[in-house]
Structure 1
Amino acid sequence: MAKSTWLIDPVHSSLEFVVKHMMVSKAKGVFQDFEATVVADPEDLTNAEIEFVIDVNSINTRKEDRDNHLRSADFFDVENHPKMTYKVTDITKKSAHHYDVTGDLTIRGTTKPVTFDVTFEGQHKDPMSGNIVAGFSGTAEINRKDFGLTWNAALETGGVVVGEKVKLNVEIEAQKEA
């Protein structure tokens, strides 16, 4: 199959993160507003062109005070760095529908290579619209300090409020452009 342009369905897609909180639990959040450019053959992603632009201000952890702190200069510094980007630079096929997708992740003006473990979940004809849709799932882990997200506070009993490692989860449903 030839490469096609795919449009991200924001209702059925998500960009989530998980980070250790208070050394005993995990805080989770999403970026609600993002755009992606995907030109690919979903049956063979090895030559796909993929780029994401994320509106950092759209962060949502279900706690307004925390979201505002994350938007501040202590973390994402949204005033000076309103967007995060991820541009794919290399894709390696690991098995039939399983890939290592490496790209340049830019957060707060710092760019580092990050590899997502991505699975092509399949494609089908949408019975409601008649359009072809495809699904992808991916995970990666980053150290937030590598991107200048260094704020923390010590706990009285030892340890820190925010863990360094952040797990990224991506769920994408895309519609083939007519």
Structure 2
Amino acid sequence: MTIYVSDAVHSEVEFQVKHMMVSKVKGSFEEFNFEVETDNLETFEDATVKAEIETASINTGNADRDGHLKSGDFFDAENNPQITFTSNQVEKSGDTVKVTGDVTIAGVTKEKTFELTYNGKGISPMGGQEVHGFEASFTINREEFGLTWNAQLETGGVLVSRDVKVQLELQFSEKQ
């Protein structure tokens, strides 16, 4: 089996949530590692997928908001330094890969299925290594993972939406 790792320079983990039910706040995690173990990344045959995202690396462009997200009201980054994923089933159909596995956020683990789209492969001009691209978009209900902090608005609704939209752009190459 070959291990492929995400290239942090050419990969992104981004998210967005509704704020006050009228606008969107976007952010990203700056430190993460995705790893796929398989004999063939194009076919994903017998693949195992693992991911680790450093919660303290959250970046929304606002230090006060980032501090609140790292606190016990949300990720509790001091006690839960990572969001993790470990696959237990992988199914490929065309350019789509369904990956089912255990997601752990803030100490709560739930089984989830995500669909990755294979964007193809190329040869990097920086060293000639073969690279593979994948992307995924999905929504997570943060309350399922105990991230329930919120504030009711006088006009109705809540300060922070329950649903978090996640966008992954991942470029993999063989682990050196």
TM-score normalized by structure 2? 0.94
Is the aligned partner of 1:90 residue 2:89? yes
Report the Cα distance in structure 2 between the residues aligned to 1:27 and 1:113, rounded to whole angstroms: 26
Residue of 132, 135, 138 corresponding to 2:136? 138
* Pair 1:109-2:107 in alignment: yes
Residue 149 of structure 1: which of 147, 150, 172 is its match? 147
Structure 2 equivalent of residue 119 of structure 1: 117
Q: State the secondary structure of the residue aligned to 1:45.
A: coil
Normalised by the length of structure 1, the TM-score is 0.93
Contact 1:114-1:140 at 8 Å conserved across structures? no
The 3-state SS of whatever aligns with 1:44 is coil
SS at match of 2:56: helix
Question: Which residue is 1:167 aligned to?
Answer: 165
CA contact (8 A) 1:141 1:167 kept: yes
| d(CA) in 2 for partners of 1:46, 1:17 | 29
Name the CA distance, whole Å, in 1 between partners of 2:175 and 2:54: 23
Pick one of 160, 173, 176 that aligns with 2:174. Answer: 176
Separation in 1 of the partners of 2:26 and 2:48? 29
Q: Which runs of 5+ in 1 are unaligned?
A: none
Measured after TM superposition, the shift of residue 8 of structure 1 is: 1.5
Alpha-carbon distance in structure 2 between the residues aligned to 1:145 and 1:31: 19
Compare the two structures and name the one with the higher strand fraction.
1
Cα distance per residue 1:25-75 (max 9 Å; x no partner): 111111111122221222212421111111100000111110000001111
Q: Residue 27 of structure 1 aligns with which residue?
A: 25
Runs (4+) of structure 1 moved beyond 3 Å?
A: none
How many angstroms apart in 2 are the aligned matches of 1:90 and 1:139?
19
Q: Secondary structure at the match of 2:44?
A: strand
Find the aligned partners of 2:160 and 2:127 in 1 and give their Cα distance: 44
Quote the sequence identity (%).
46
The residue aligned with 2:52 is 53
Compare 30-39 and 61-70 and name the one that shifted more: 30-39
